[in-house]
Each structure stands twice: as structure tokens, then as C-alpha cells.
Amino acid sequence: MNSYGKRLSRAEIFSGLTATNEDTQAGYSGSLSIELIAEKVEAERNFGRIDDDTILYCILARRGRNIARNPRPEFDEENKSTEFPGESREDAYSAGAQAIDLAVSFLQEKAGVPHFTFLPYRNLLVVLARFFAHFPEIDERDQQLLRRWFWRAAMVGPYIFKGSATGAMRTLAGKITPGDLNGSLSALLDAVQTDVRQPPGITRLKSNEGAGRIILCSWWSLKPKLWNAELTEFDEITPERLATCLVDRATASFALETVLPNRVVPVAQRPWAANRILLAPIDDEENGTLDDLILRFPRPDKEEAWQDALVSHNLSSQVRGAYEARDFKHFIQTRQELIGQNLRNFLDRMCEWDLENTPSLNRLILEDELAEDEEDREDVLF
């Protein structure tokens, strides 16, 4: 228990057990901590605040496959349960922070996950941190395979693994073998192999659930746009704007707005994804109506840009016409169909279900050349 009478988190327990004398000195701030790592990622990547326990699991996963191991002897010199025996706590935290940074960069730039609140399952970040700790530089083909694994794992969810989220972390982290990039990628993909390809249901959008976050990532892939303040151009919602909207928020719900008031929507349709829209308002003045932000018809010379903006929100001029005519039943049903189609397209594109998981051709050629060189040396010796 801490001084506030609340149960300590795993990260707090770990920090207490592994604290050095310098850490306990009043006013000392030179040592990298779990909290500082989280703050650094938030400030430098606009990824939001990763919770302390996830940061801890990333650090532990980098150092060994068993992320549920006893934390007390973690940095003892005689500890042989890690892949980095004798490593200091400071070095472990620094290397862990680098691995997390690479994992977040991959999520934002390759996997289409802009913010921590959009991450379908936290255990996936832990596995990515271990992967990039051992393979910090990978080519485009490896990035494609890793993205394929990430989204297939998100579709499968952690629940197929014994022990749910913790079991998923242990199982998937165990598939990553230092020094064997091909084998690690193949093992990760094999671990989430499934015949189930059904996308998440869109009749209920909950931003605190994995399914809801997958839907939000499919929306982000459309690069949603809004009118600028002068109503002269459409501006894309940037990661910076999203991060500003979601600062100190645990879920992405604050980036969403309700499209239709409850009085015009049947009760069964109120939770539908079609009744929510991603606007990422950064102040109260931006909580305008849908007409103000998107649907207001522009000047004729802006019509093409306006059509693009509609599509970026799973809308169309026909759907907009239903909204303007106050035919809300047709509006929400048609938009629901557009959202479902975009979600299927997004997941098909990311999961690449029917493509071969062959490794990078360049690395296969290099490995063959190395094998031939080794055979030549053996011939010389004998």
C-alpha cells in the first residue's frame, strides 16, 4: 500500500525493489525512471501517456522472455534469468526506452496507430518493444511482415492465450529469439494464425475496448479532415492535434463527437459507430455541429476538396443529402454501411490474409552467401 491507501501497481513495486541509494536521496533526479520514460514518449512522439505498468513490461520483455518473473533479483549480478546478465538498472532503462521509442515509431508510421488510446491491446506494444530491442533495424519487407503480425494479433486478441493479456505477452514475447530475425517473425505470425477473419462488430463503438480501437484506427487511416477556421481549406487532423485533444485522457472518447441527438435516433442505434465521428476538438469552441465542421457546402471551386473531406469521415454527398433532408434513418444506416466497408478494406490491407509470409529476399541472399563462404573455409581447412 502507498501513502494514499491505494494498492501499489506492479511498476511501483518494481521501482521500490530495484531502487538504488541515489534514487532515495532527496532531490536526486539524475536516474532514468519508468515515469520519465513515459513522459519522454509523450512529449517527443505525441503518442499520449503510456501507463507505468506497460512501460515496466516493455523493460522486462527486452531483458527476457518471461515477463512475469520475480522482479526482486532483476539487477543482481548473479541473476541468470535475463538475456543481459550484469546489466545495470540505468542501462536497462535506457535500452528499454530506446526499444519503446522504436516500437512507437513503428506503430505510428507503419501500423497506423496514432496514439496510445488507439492501441487495440497494450500487450502488443510490449512484444514490439522486445522485437525492436533485438532487431532495431529492419528492411521494408520485415516491416510489412511485422505490420501483418500486429494486425492479425489485434484481430485475434489476447483471449486465445492462456492467462489472457499476461499469457499473450509471455507467449508472444517467447517467440522472439535474439539473433534470429526470420525465425522470430515466422514464429510470431504462426502464433496468431487463425481462420477467423470477421471484423469487429460496428453496432457498438466503445473506445475502451480492443474492437472499438480497431475501428478508430480504420477511421484514422482515412486521414480525416475538417474546415479550417476561415472556412477556406480543409485541414487534416494531425497527430499533434489528436495528442492535444487527448492529453491526460485514458481513452479516445474525448476525440469523438455524437453525430445525431438521441431524440432522433432509435435506442438500438445510438451506440452504432455511425453515430460517432472523429473530430479531435482541442477547445470548447470547436464542439460545433456537423454542418459547421464538415457538411457545410463550400464554394464551387472547393467542391472536390469537400468531397474528399466527406469520404475521410465515412460520408458521401448522398449521405450528406439524407442528413440535410433530415432523413436520419437513411443517414445512419447508409453511413453504417460505409464504415463497415472501410473497416473491412482496412483490415484486409493490414492483415494481408492470403499473402505468403516469405522473409526478405535480400537477407535470404545474404544468408546463402554467408553459408557458401563458411563451406569454402571448411574446404580450405580440410
| pTM tops 0.85 | yes
Q: Where are the beta strands (DSSP E) in 43-107?
A: none
What does the pLDDT look like over 293-318, one tens digit per residue? Answer: 666 666 677 888 888 999 999 999 88
Residue 34, C-beta contacts closer than 8 angstroms, at least 6 positions apart: 11, 14, 15, 52, 55, 56, 59, 93
Query: b/e for 194-205, b at 16 or more Cβ within 10 A?
Result: eeeeebbebeeb
Averaged pLDDT, groups of 10, the chain, 382 residues long: 57 56 47 92 96 94 86 73 84 95 98 98 97 97 97 92 85 95 96 89 96 98 87 88 95 93 92 95 62 66 86 91 90 96 97 90 60 56 52
**Cβ count within 10 A of residue 94:** 14
Which tens digits make up the pLDDT trace of 185-194?
Answer: 999 999 999 8
What the block records as the C-alpha cell of 353 is: 490474409
**What is the CB neighbour count within 10 angstroms for residue 316?**
15
* Contact by Cβ (8 Å): 37, 106: no
Q: What rounded mean pLDDT belongs to the chain? A: 86
Q: How far apart are CA 301 and CA 320, in angstroms?
A: 19
Contacts of residue 61, Cβ cutoff 8 Å, sequence gap at least 6? 67, 126, 127, 129, 130, 133, 169, 173
